[in-house]
Structures are given as C-alpha cells and as structure tokens.
Chain A
Amino acid sequence: EAQVTQNPRYLITVTGKKLTVTCSQNMNHEYMSWYRQDPGLGLRQIYYSMNVEVTDKGDVPEGYKVSRKEKRNFPLILESPSPNQTSLYFCASSSPRLTSGGLNEQFFGPGTRLTVL
C-alpha cells in the first residue's frame, strides 16, 4: 500500500530535549516536506527536499533541522525544543514537478502531535 508513515504519532517532551520525528514514504517520490498545523494558522511549510541531499527552507524553518540521506526518509529534528513548537506536524511527499513547473499533489502522513512542556 502506498503510504507516508510518521513516528511517533504522539510525543510529549520537555524543553531542550532533542527529538527526531521520522518520516518515510514507499512511493519513490523525489519531493518531501514537513508542515506544522496550528489553530488559526493553517498549514505552514517548515522544510522541503527536492531530492537526496537537496533541502531548502519553507516559511517557518527556525528551530528545526532536516536531512535527506535516502530517498525514502526525511526526518525532522528539533535540537532544543521549546513550548512554541507544540503543534501537529505533517510529513508529505509527491512525485517530481512537471516540466512546466509547479508541484504535484502531496501525499500526507497521518500526523505527529508534539507537546513541549
């Protein structure tokens, strides 16, 4: 079954304790990205990756890191989490953009609810 998986699904942690949220897709997609969803703010893109070893900032990258060492995996790293990073996080992937440009439909993971105390 084609899917994007995220782990963990729920996480409660404390300020300053490094954590990693994993994301994996089995569709051989080049494009992967991370979003956070907050009430009243919708979905905001944190980082994205066009392919292995190619990553770039989205609209809210501060406090986050990513890496793309393998095509299927795109972990999100919070080196020193703070309470303002409490949010619902989604990973997504998509097939390459068309030659005319623009992204294809995103396939989203189930989400990770993170609480930072």
Chain B
Amino acid sequence: AQKVTQAQTEISVVEKEDVTLDCVYETRDTTYYLFWYKQPPSGELVFLIRRNSFDEQNEISGRYSWNFQKSTSSFNFTITASQVVDSAVYFCALSEASFGNEKLTFGTGTRLTIIP
C-alpha cells in the first residue's frame, strides 16, 4: 500500500532563514509520481510540483528547490531565504502508476510559520 509520511508537524523559522520540509514515501511500484501542494491560511490548495520516479534530478524554482532521493524514498522541499508569504501548510503526495490504482495519497502535512 502506498504511504506518505511527513514527520514534521510544525516548523517555525525566522524570516530569511532556509527551511527544509521532509517527505518520506512508501510504494511497491517502480513507477510513481510525487507532488507537493501548498495550503496558505486562506485555505485553498495550490500545486507546486510533480516529479516522476525516473527523474532524480533536483529541481529549483526561484527560492524553492526539491531533492528527490530514491535510495532513501524521500522527496524533500527546501525554501531558501524564507518570507512571511511562505507561511502555510505543505502537503506531499504520492500517485502510483499502475493502472487500476488511481488513488492519490497525501501526507499529514507540515505547518510552516515564518516569523517576521
């Protein structure tokens, strides 16, 4: 069964500090997809990134970067030079590629607070 663990329930950092959000997943499939979503205080869910299991290159988008390591089944998310607008709940999610299983499994989320 697919599973996503976000062990960090809450993190607080001072503005401009770097912060890494951890995501560990379990799957029996060799092909799968990982996602990160952001939920700001306003409540909507915003897609950040989708990564397939064949692409282990790290990805950078502005102040955001993602480190995918199959060896440790982790897909961690780093925010560089954090800003108050980064305060949100962040969810990691997993989709297996096997047909017949179209579930999307989320982790429990990490609440990130950026202190001005």
Residues of A bordering B, CB below 8 Å: 31, 33, 35, 40-45, 48, 50, 56, 58-59, 88, 90, 92, 97, 100-108, 110-111
| Chain B residues, Cβ within 8 Å of A92 | 45
Chain A residues whose C-beta falls within 8 Å of the C-beta of B33 in the assembled complex: 102-103
Chain B residues with CB below 8 A from A41, complex form: 108
Instruction: Given A100-B31, A100-B52, A105-B35, decide whether A43 and B106 contact each other with a Cβ distance below 8 A.
Output: yes
Chain B hits for A101, CB < 8 A: 31, 96-99
Further contacts, 15 of them, CB under 8 A, given A43-B45, A45-B106: A42-B108, A42-B109, A43-B93, A43-B109, A45-B104, A48-B102, A59-B103, A102-B33, A102-B97, A103-B102, A103-B104, A106-B35, A106-B37, A106-B45, A111-B43
Question: How extensive is the interface on chain B, given as a class?
Answer: 20 to 34
| Interface pair B95/A102, CB less than 8 Å apart | yes
The 3 closest A-B pairs by CB, nearest first: A101-B97, A102-B33, A42-B108
Instruction: Indicate if the CB atoms of A108 and B102 lie closer than 8 Å.
Output: no
Chain B positions 74-103 with a Cβ under 8 Å from a chain A Cβ: 91, 93, 95-99, 102-103
Among A50, A88, A100, A110, which residue has its beta carbon within 8 angstroms of that of B102? Answer: A50
Which of A42, A90, A105 is close to B107, meaning CB atoms less than 8 Å apart? A42
Q: How far is the CA of A35 from the CA of B105 in the complex (A)?
A: 10
From A31, A45, A58, A105, contact of B50 by CB (8 A): A105
Given contacts A97-B102, A103-B102, A110-B43, A40 and B35 within 8 Å (CB-CB)? no
Assuming the A-B contacts A42-B107, A102-B52, A103-B95, are A31 and B44 also in contact, with contact meaning beta carbons closer than 8 angstroms in the complex?
no
Residue in B37, B102, B109 whose beta carbon sits within 8 Å of that of A31 in the complex: B102
CB–CB B50/A104 < 8 A: yes
Task: Determine whether the beta carbon of A108 is less than 8 Å from that of B106.
Answer: no
